[in-house]
Amino acid sequence: MADIARILHPTDFSTSAEAALAQAVRLARRYEAEVHVLHVLHIQHSFVEGPLPSAYAGSGSMPEFFREAQEDAEQHLEEMVQAIDAPDVHLKPVLSPGAAAAPVILEYAEEEDMDLIVMGTHGRRAVERFLLGSVAEQVVHESRCDTLIVRAQAEGSEPRPIQRLLVPVDFSEAAGVALGRAKTWAQHHGAHVDVLHVIEPLPFTVSLASSVSVHDLDPDIIEHTTEELRDFVAETEGPDVPHALHVEEGEVAAFITRKADALSTDLIVMGSQGRSAFRRFVLGSVTERVLRTAKQPVLTARNAPKS
């Protein structure tokens, strides 16, 4: 993605959604983009005439007792957009009915040719951190454009400028896409990129009394992996931006979030697929865990460009 012209912000009027909108507006200023602010009004599918309408195709026909909810949502959406102090950013409020939010968000993003989805996810309670949020999770799984997930911030705080990006790399095609995306974002923001590879412990033991470490198989594994990482960065398409290489050992997802904190990372950039077939099927277990637990915004880069 060389440029971002159209940003979609789905909102449920929650605290995390407010943080995501602030981030969307900041990005819109940077890229001179427009922001579509979409609220999905939950209704029973049977109350919509015919197929579920697209978010841009009107609200359909609903019973009278839904009219008040629709009017309240419209007013809330308009007030929220008007309250944003961004006269230089075009904000387009959109209200759409739907039996479920994620399909409407995905359809709108595709039909309106969005370049980026910026949305929040609940993260205050332990159970919410574990579940991530079914709507956000489905959007990340199925979106054909990149998705930026933003957590709620302290009241009154502004989004941090993007000065340092962290890109976890497993040498897969998806990691290459994420790294290329991070290079482009870093160029736009004048930022630094940290490229991280985490060496996982071997998943087997020789006996009940002993185990084999990666260093037993390759005593110089740190040096060899660093060289492989250097080549991977050089061969990945994208602008030449300031960067540093990090090769560490540990449990991957936990180490990524710890490293992001230690480096004062402003944005984590990850691929939406992992190395194994199982990870491709479930979005990527590492990506999924980082999305659930990272304090920083997480950008998931799609493996293939929109068509």
Complete DSSP assignment for 197-228: EEEPPPS--SSSS----HHHH-TTHHHHHHHH
CB 248 within 8 A of CB 255: yes
Average pLDDT score over residue span 106-122: 93
Q: In whole angstroms, what is the distance from residue 293 CA to residue 123 CA?
A: 8
Give the model's confidence band at 154: pLDDT under 50 very low, under 70 low, under 90 confident, else very high: low
**Chain centre distance of CA 290:** 10
Q: In whole angstroms, what is the distance from residue 260 CA to residue 268 CA?
A: 7
Asked which of 37-41, 110-114, 156-160 is least confident by mean pLDDT, the reply is: 156-160
Q: Where in the chain is the domain with CATH 3.40.50.620?
A: 6-151, 164-301
The pLDDT assigned to 274 comes to 40
Mean pLDDT of the chain: 81
Give the model's confidence band at 61: pLDDT under 50 very low, under 70 low, under 90 confident, else very high: low
The pLDDT assigned to 57 comes to 46
| Crossing angle between the packed helical segments 173-189 and 15-31, to the nearest 10 degrees | 70
Give the model's confidence band at 62: pLDDT under 50 very low, under 70 low, under 90 confident, else very high: low
The pLDDT assigned to 217 comes to 52
DSSP 8-state code for residue 249 = E
The pLDDT assigned to 52 comes to 40
* Sequence-distant (≥ 6) Cβ neighbours of residue 275 within 8 angstroms: 170, 171, 172
The pLDDT assigned to 307 comes to 45
Q: pTM for the whole thing?
A: 0.83
Residue 50: what are its φ and ψ, rounded to 5°? Answer: 75, -160
Determine the CATH number of domain 6-151.
3.40.50.620
- At 194-251, the pLDDT tens digits run 999 998 875 554 454 455 555 555 557 889 999 999 999 999 999 999 999 999 988 8
In the CATH hierarchy, which fold is given to the domain comprising 164-301? Rossmann fold (3.40.50)
Asked which of 35-49, 134-148, 209-223 is least confident by mean pLDDT, the reply is: 209-223
